[in-house]
Amino acid sequence: MTEIASGHEAAWAAFQASEQLRLQHETLEWEWTRGRTDFIAFLIAISEEGVRGYIAAQVEKIADIPGVEAYPERYWHITVKGVGFLADTPSRPDEVSLDDVRRLAEQAQPLIESTPMFNVQVGPANGFPEVVYLEAHDDGTVRGLNKQLLADVPGLTRSPFDGDVFLPHISVARFTSNEGLPELKRRLAGLREGPAGPTFRATEVLLIQAHLSTEAPTFDLLALYPLRQS
């Protein structure tokens, strides 16, 4: 079992043992924003039609559970590295200016574009306290890119979830109550017993500006980095 698969198994065991969820209105992610609304990140979009169909089918099987709120399709992605909150005058370690973003975008370009294209196998379904997610298995490429960006691009801030504990995933739903937790555990367990999900070829990384609100974030494209053809 790979390091990443072991991480997903640990996440699943923790989710199965959980007695309450971290709800949308009280989530640590929401506290993390501290009123800030624009976040910069490197990510991989999910655009392959067959994979999107698989994700939609998985979401449909849990969407009617009380307290489960599915993210819209436009939100589906795999985060590679968070950059920080956009600020006119950065005053915290996790804030960046427009000039910072331009510099980071340029410095990241050769590193990302020298990374070979790679395959990502999607699934099975799993859970964090904040979200339902689909696992993303890629033989460690996204985690390795996350670590490389941290090591080679000055000014990128390390979060508690970066580096060796970084776990690539696709968030598909968040929680509005704990009402359906027992049923959610049961259905996710059933989904995990199903066949392996589809595989897609990651060919590019995007730099985006996410606009955060009580609704699912929307993304503006800032830069696109094609991966190297292998």
| pLDDT for res 101 | 97
The percentage of residues in the chain with a pLDDT greater than 90, rounded to a whole number, is 82
Tokens of 115: 């990374």
Instruction: Decide: residue 23, CB within 10 A, 0-12 exposed, 13-18 middle, 19+ buried.
Output: middle
Q: What is the DSSP letter of 96?
A: E
Residue 191: pLDDT band (50, 70, 90) is very high
Span 99-152, pLDDT tens digits: 999 999 999 999 999 999 999 999 999 999 999 999 999 999 999 999 999 999
- Cα–Cα distance between 162 and 143 in angstroms, integer? 8
Q: Return the bridge partners of 45, or none.
A: 77
State which amino acid sits at residue 200.
Answer: F
Give the pTM: 0.93
State which amino acid sits at residue 77.
Answer: H
End-to-end CA distance of the chain: 25
Span 83-96, pLDDT tens digits: 999 999 999 989 99
The domain ranges of the chain are 3-226
* Homologous superfamily (CATH) for 3-226: Cyclic phosphodiesterase (3.90.1140.10)
- Cα–Cα distance between 119 and 97 in angstroms, integer? 34
Residues ≥6 apart with Cβ < 8 Å to 177: 23, 66, 67
Residue 213: pLDDT band (50, 70, 90) is confident
